[in-house]
């Protein structure tokens, strides 16, 4: 017994040392600062080209972005096993891959890091496109003229005209706008209308920047010129008509195809993005990529994987919270690690929204479960039925919250549905057998655990540390080992055995 304990302490000590050393190394050699401190926002963007090669020579040409107002390109590189790569500079930059022969599915990666820098003036390299004579078909001519006339009256310059036009086109109640959209996309309609008004404009493809998104597609944006300046407009999303520069990045500088492929079929390109906050002084990620194997850095993985790890690396901390609460406090939870999954769902929403949603879902689920009990079903079928009902409720919840303008409801989908259904079933049985008090105890215990785990995982510094210093994972592991060998009393046992102590005292 004693020997086992000393082995354990040594193991923990070695783990902590290793973790500390790795952290120190990251700090001193890679110059990752210990505190998030003064931050620069970086966007890591990744384009993934996927295609089925036919065995003949393959040539791939992908349009790639460059520095633009608000975004400064820091680094770019490609990953493509066996392919030759060259960059074509010019008004529009391209990455060109080629290979003599390839078969089966091929993946090509292009990755670029942009620094978000709204203050620095990065000149727009573009010159305005030529005006094209409009080509309205007969029935649309009158509608186009009317939309343009109204918008012209409401506007003062090119940009305000574009804004007024975009509002008309995206407004579903506008008859003329509807008519135009029956023959062309909203962006094309807007460009045509602007050209009619002698305002140069064109459709370009860009990315809407959202942290941790994977498998995204490019969006059509309208670039409107006024002399030397230009602005972007997103006609499709009525919510953000005016592109204010910080959440859209132009992928191309000139109209034209994004991806051209020879010698392969079923080609497509998808995009992933991730935002990181790092010190402005050092380009940490560039270093990390260079000796990826040595530094064992998550930053050397494809961005879509990195986005996953951002959350995954927090899980050990949550597990530690569960272990501490169980061993030191003695809190009862329904399902040992269920609170951890709930906490993960909380991370995607806000805490209060998460708690309310959880309570509503579980209580509605309990009522439904009571109704199902009358149908006399087999256990597996009953739990499956609860799963269906829970998903139905979540859909209802999302719809209601969307129409009432609460957007947090939309993310309810992240709740672990299957676990939730089992929780409902167990709690319902618990209610029947031990009474509502026990349900409240276990449910409350689960929620307290989930909340504490959430509060820890939500701290900005904690997220920064866990993502940037992988050595800390070993420290967490060591802490779990140490807590796991604690044989003292739990806090709730001090309360439980209190009469025993009093009686022997008196």
Partner 1 sequence: MLNWLKKYLASPRQLRQLGVLGLNERNLACISAHNPRSSFPSVDDKLLTKLLAEDYQIATPALLGTIRHQAEITRFEGYLPKQGGFVIKPAKGSGGKGILVIQYVSGNRYLKASGEWISREAVQRHLSNLISGLYSLGGHPDAAIIEKLIHSAKDFADFTFEGVPDIRVIIYQGYPVMAMMRLSTKDSDGKANLHQGAIGVGVDLTLGTAIQAVQHDRPVFIHPDTGSPLEKLRIQNWHYLLDLAARCYDMTGLGYLGADLVVDAEQGPLLLELNARPGLAIQMANGTGVKPRLQAIDQHRAELRGPAEVSEVRVKVAQQLFGKQVCSARQLNVE
Q: What is the nearest approach in angstroms of partner 1 to the Cβ of residue 491?
A: 8
3-class state of residue 391 by DSSP: helix
**Interacting residues of 441 by C-beta distance below 8 A, sequence separation 6+:** 332
Determine the Cα–Cα distance for residues 383 and 456; give it in Å rounded to an integer.
Answer: 32
> In the complex, what is the shortest distance from the CB of residue 277 to partner 1, in angstroms, rounded to a whole number?
40
Interacting residue ranges for partner 1, rule: CB under 8 A: 1, 327, 330, 376, 378-380, 425, 429, 433-434, 485-491, 493-505
Question: Which C-beta is closer to partner 1: that of 460 or that of 497?
Answer: 497
- The backbone torsions φ and ψ at residue 11, rounded to the nearest 5 degrees and listed phi first, read -55, -50
Q: How far is the CB of 379 from partner 1 (least distance, A)?
A: 3
The 259-262 sheet, strands edge to edge: 84-88, 93-99, 58-64, 259-262
Tokens representing 15 are 């783990």
- The residue among 1 and 156 lying less far from partner 1, judged by its C-beta, is 1
Choice between 104 and 380, CB closer to partner 1: 380
CB 24 within 8 A of CB 479: no
Question: Which CB atom, from 131 or from 329, has the smaller least distance to partner 1?
Answer: 329
Kind and range of the H or E element at 305?
helix 303-312
Q: Give residue 414's Cα distance to chain centre.
A: 12
Query: CB-wise, 404 or 502, nearer to partner 1?
Result: 502
CB distance 261 to 56 below 8 Å: no
Cα separation values, 132 from 91, 128, 262, 506, Å? 20, 12, 31, 99
The DSSP element (H or E) to which 307 belongs, if any, is helix 303-312
Q: Least separation, in Å, of the C-beta of 14 and partner 1?
A: 22
Give the C-alpha separation, 37 to 269, whole Å: 36
Closest CB to partner 1 among residues 239, 380: 380
The residue among 45 and 387 lying less far from partner 1, judged by its C-beta, is 387
Place of tokens 């496109």: 129
* Min CB(422)–partner 1 separation in Å: 8
Q: State the minimum distance, in angstroms, from the CB of residue 496 to partner 1.
A: 6
Report helix angle 338-348 to 351-373, nearest 10. 130
- Residues 430, 393, 355, 456, Cα dihedral to 10°: 100
CB nearer to partner 1: give 69 or 365: 365
Find the shortest distance in angstroms from Cβ 368 to partner 1: 17
Report, in Å, the least distance between residue 489 CB and partner 1: 4
């Amino acid at each position: 017994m004693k020997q086992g304990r000393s082995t354990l302490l040594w193991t923990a000590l070695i783990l902590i040392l290793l973790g500390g050393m790795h952290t120190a190394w990251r700090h001193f050699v890679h110059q990752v600062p210990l505190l998030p401190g003064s931050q620069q926002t970086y966007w890591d963007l990744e384009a993934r080209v996927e295609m089925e090669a036919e065995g003949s020579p393959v040539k791939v040409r992908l349009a790639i972005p460059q520095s633009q107002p608000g975004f400064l390109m820091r680094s770019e590189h490609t990953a493509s096993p066996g392919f030759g790569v060259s960059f074509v500079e010019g008004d529009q930059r391209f990455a060109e891959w080629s290979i003599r022969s390839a078969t089966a599915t091929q993946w090509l990666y292009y990755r670029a890091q942009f620094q978000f820098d709204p203050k620095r003036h990065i000149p727009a390299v573009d010159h305005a496109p030529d005006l094209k004579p409009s080509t309205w078909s007969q029935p649309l001519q009158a509608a186009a003229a009317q939309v343009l006339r109204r918008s012209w009256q409401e506007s003062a310059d090119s940009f305000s005209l574009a804004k007024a036009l975009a509002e008309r086109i995206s407004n579903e109640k506008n008859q003329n706008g509807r008519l135009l959209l029956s023959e062309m996309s909203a962006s094309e309609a807007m460009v045509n209308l602007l050209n009619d008004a002698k305002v140069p404009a064109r459709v370009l493809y860009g990315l809407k920047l959202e942290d941790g998104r994977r498998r995204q597609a490019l969006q059509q944006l309208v670039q409107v010129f006024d002399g030397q300046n230009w602005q972007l407009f997103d006609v499709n999303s009525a919510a953000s008509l005016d592109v204010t520069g910080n959440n859209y990045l132009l992928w191309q500088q000139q109209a034209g195809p994004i991806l051209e492929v020879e010698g392969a079929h079923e080609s497509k390109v998808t995009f992933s993005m991730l935002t990181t906050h790092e010190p402005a002084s050092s380009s940490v990620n560039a270093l990390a990529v260079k000796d990826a194997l040595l530094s064992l850095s998550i930053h050397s993985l494809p961005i879509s994987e990195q986005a996953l790890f951002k959350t995954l690396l927090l899980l050990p901390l949550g597990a530690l919270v569960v272990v501490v609460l169980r061993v030191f406090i003695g809190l009862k939870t329904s399902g040992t690690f269920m609170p951890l999954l709930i906490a993960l769902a909380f991370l995607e929403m806000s805490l209060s929204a998460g708690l309310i949603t959880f309570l509503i879902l579980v209580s509605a689920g309990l009522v439904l479960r009571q109704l199902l009990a009358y149908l006399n079903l087999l256990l597996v079928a009953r739990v499956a039925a609860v799963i269906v009902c829970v998903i139905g409720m979540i859909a209802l919840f999302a719809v209601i919250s969307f129409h009432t303008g609460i957007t947090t409801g939309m993310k309810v989908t992240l709740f672990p549905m299957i676990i939730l259904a089992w929780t409902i079933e167990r709690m319902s049985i618990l209610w029947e057998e031990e009474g509502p008090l026990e349900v409240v105890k276990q449910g409350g215990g689960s929620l307290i655990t989930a909340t504490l785990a959430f509060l820890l995982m939500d701290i900005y510094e904690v997220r920064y540390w866990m993502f940037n210093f992988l050595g800390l994972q070993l420290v967490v592991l060591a802490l779990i080992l140490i807590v796991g060998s604690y044989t003292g009393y739990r806090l709730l046992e001090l309360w439980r055995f209190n009469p025993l102590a009093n009686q022997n005292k008196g």
